[in-house]
Amino acid sequence: MATIKDVAKQAGVSVATVSRVLNSNGYVNEDTKKKVEEAIDRLNYKPNAVARSLYKKTSKTIGLMVPDIVNPFFPELARAVEDTAHKLGYNVVFCNTDENVEKEEHYLEILLQKYVDGLIVASNTLTAEKVRQLNIPVVSIDRKINADIPTVVVKNKSGARKATGFLLEMGCKRIAHLSGPEHIDNAMERRTGYLEEVGSEPWFDSSYIEDGNYDMKTAINATLQLLGRHPEIDGIFAGNDVMAIGAIKAAHKFGKKVPEDLAIIGFDGISLAEATTPELTTVGQPIYDMGTIVADLLVKLIEKKAVENTFFEFDVELIERESTRKV
Amino acid sequence: MATIKDVAKQAGVSVATVSRVLNSNGYVNEDTKKKVEEAIDRLNYKPNAVARSLYKKTSKTIGLMVPDIVNPFFPELARAVEDTAHKLGYNVVFCNTDENVEKEEHYLEILLQKYVDGLIVASNTLTAEKVRQLNIPVVSIDRKINADIPTVVVKNKSGARKATGFLLEMGCKRIAHLSGPEHIDNAMERRTGYLEEVGSEPWFDSSYIEDGNYDMKTAINATLQLLGRHPEIDGIFAGNDVMAIGAIKAAHKFGKKVPEDLAIIGFDGISLAEATTPELTTVGQPIYDMGTIVADLLVKLIEKKAVENTFFEFDVELIERESTRKV
DNA sequence: TTGAAAGCGATACCAC
DNA sequence: GTGGTATCGCTTTCAA
């Protein structure tokens, strides 16, 4: 590969001049500029990004840390992040943390050593203190870490109220909730939304809530428990779509028809939700838009551009499909 | 951040010595080693990976280029790749090419400038010639580019025969095929497998094949076409799971019960296939294993370690679930 | 408007 | 065993 020296030699100028035309900064005569550009073409010269990084202490790459890219929420997010990063001239290296602190810290260390310019994280193990120590911009997605850290989330509580309220409208009399893990803030917000909607109904008690761990297998069992305990349940609000799909499966096993006997609503709006039968009614997050916004925000922070806002709380939208019925 | 110079000063030695203990190569006295290590701890020194890259011309990062991470086949693959890369000390930067040549070439250029050590690609636009010019190891996944390029794929043809043969065993008399795009080799192999199984049946003609473009929406329409043309169809082999899910939906629309009236089988074994009702019978690829193998292979190639094999053709496995029935 | 030279932070060769 | 220093390829003062 040709280097800047080769180009300089070809063009009969110094490397400084080549650098100037490369970065179009500083004065350079039109003719010499032309000469340099010809040399660049002739040699098919591409500047070495690593050398550049070393000097500038930036790498034009950002890190994306998610618990698990296989979790259907994240591919779409990752896609949006990568799309806009690419558009803005950044590459993205992605990391699966499995919500494991050691793994996360290991990644952080490596990424810092590589001069990544910023980080997008979906994590509940990361603390504000650690983020500060990184000394690079960090944006949190899907979860709130701390008020000091720029964040992109959705209105989980009001979304949960929408979901539960919709079930009520549909005529459901006993609505159960499949909850996400207690250590994930958005799960707790969704649970709170559910409680605000039905927590003071005369029939309600906490045995209408079961932990489904945001995952399908657990949700199947949890739903079976729920249905065994309370056969009168006629509506389930699941804290995410994956659990809602589990609930549909469990309902079938249990001999309940969805939506006739049991209405089910999810949360997230992942594309999986359209693959089920019946198709899942859900509270949809604008996942792609959120990915676009985080990436945009992060790059602005990196490039020290003005940002009008460092906290984005997106509205969610009820998407009515087949798993809930009008009575 | 502390540099190697700071450490040298702290320890009262030269940077050369620090470098030696860092890389544990060359002779270094036990005591001075201890001194250096103490200095490293005290300063919380982490070597600068960029500087190292510049000198060594490698970056300990690999590129992963896929058409679209949102396509449910790829997250699991990406996960496997990232897992094993990480285990082996590499980061992975991921790129979505949308099967677009310009985008692909743009990525290649950038990645080269950043000294990525190797590439894993799922592409049908990349040519052997271009790969050669890159001058870094490249491994092809899911698609065959060229015999010279290390490749990890599955036995598409025999998998397709398994699928079609299974439908025959189940008692299907008229089996249609939803095919993937013509420019994707694995799609053509799967079609060939189907043809070998039923192409010479007296009833067969090419109107039993419809292009579903590996995508759900197209597959729904294609299935509707198929069913309209040939109401006698009682089995469908879809070239991938996403299309099979589309076929299930179309069947419902058309008023056919799956599997009673119509058996449907897919290909891939993505986790989506377990979310449907009925759950999808499919020909499963060992996606995670394939990802592990490609990453392993690529790293071996990068590190110029001996590889016994540069072509892996995995067996596929028929996973019988609910969308096909025993008559 | 251009060039020489000092970094950026490591590695590795060559002396001693 | 250890240190001095050229080198990796680029950017950016500082002079001319």
Q: How far is the CA of B49 from the C1' of D9 (A)?
A: 15
Task: Express each pLDDT in B188-212 by its tens digit.
Answer: 999 999 999 999 999 999 999 999 9
CA closest to C1' of C12 belongs to: B16
Q: Would you say A242 and A272 are in contact if contact means Cβ atoms under 8 Å apart?
A: yes
Q: How far is the CA of B39 from the C1' of D2 (A)?
A: 17
H-helix or E-strand spanning residue B226: helix B216-229
3-class SS at B185?
A: helix
C-alpha separations of A9 from A28, A43, A49, A77 in Å: 17, 11, 20, 46
Weakest mean pLDDT among A189-193, A273-277, B109-113, B133-137: A273-277
Residue A327: pLDDT band by 50, 70, 90 thresholds? low
Phi, psi of B209 (to 5 degrees): -110, 135
Q: Would you say B177 and B191 are in contact if contact means Cβ atoms under 8 Å apart?
A: yes
Q: In what order do the strands lie in the sheet with B317-319?
A: B209-211, B175-179, B235-238, B263-268, B281-284, B317-319
Among the partner-chain residues B91, B110, B113, the one whose CB lies closest to the CB of A110 is: B91
Task: Express each pLDDT in B159-173 by its tens digit.
Answer: 999 999 999 999 999
Domain B156-285: give its CATH architecture.
3-Layer(aba) Sandwich (3.40)
Average pLDDT over residues A300-309: 95
Task: Express each pLDDT in A35-77 by its tens digit.
Answer: 999 999 999 999 999 999 999 999 999 999 999 999 999 999 9
Share of chain B above pLDDT 90, in %: 96
- B61 contact residues in A (CB cutoff 8 A): 93, 114
Task: Express each pLDDT in A200-234 by its tens digit.
Answer: 999 999 999 999 999 999 999 999 999 999 999 99
- What sign does the CA torsion over A285, A288, A290, A291 have? positive
pLDDT for B25? 87
Residue B325: pLDDT band by 50, 70, 90 thresholds? confident
Residues 22-81 of A with CB within 7 A of strand C: 26-29, 31-33, 51, 54-55, 57
C-alpha separations of A320 from A229, A261, A266, B279, B295 in Å: 28, 17, 10, 23, 42
Asked whether the beta carbons of residue B271 and residue A91 sit closer than 8 angstroms, the reply is no
**How many Å is the Cα radius of gyration of chain B?**
26
Weakest mean pLDDT among B65-69, B108-112, B220-224, B323-327: B323-327
Asked whether the beta carbons of residue B78 and residue A95 sit closer than 8 angstroms, the reply is no
Residue B277: pLDDT band by 50, 70, 90 thresholds? confident
**Extents of the domains making up chain A:** 4-47, 58-154+287-315, 156-285
pLDDT for B327? 57
Average pLDDT over residues B57-81: 97
In words, the CATH class of domain B58-154+287-315 is alpha beta
- B72 contact residues in A (CB cutoff 8 A): 75
Q: Is the pLDDT of residue B326 over 90?
A: no
CB pairs under 8 A between A and B: 125
pLDDT for B38? 97
pLDDT for A325? 83
Average pLDDT over residues A152-177: 97
The pTM of the full predicted model, rounded to 2 decimals, is 0.96
H-helix or E-strand spanning residue A149: none
For chain B, what is the mean pLDDT? 96
Share of chain B above pLDDT 70, in %: 99
Q: Is B58-154+287-315 the same fold as B4-47?
A: no
In words, the CATH class of domain A4-47 is mainly alpha
pLDDT for A25? 87
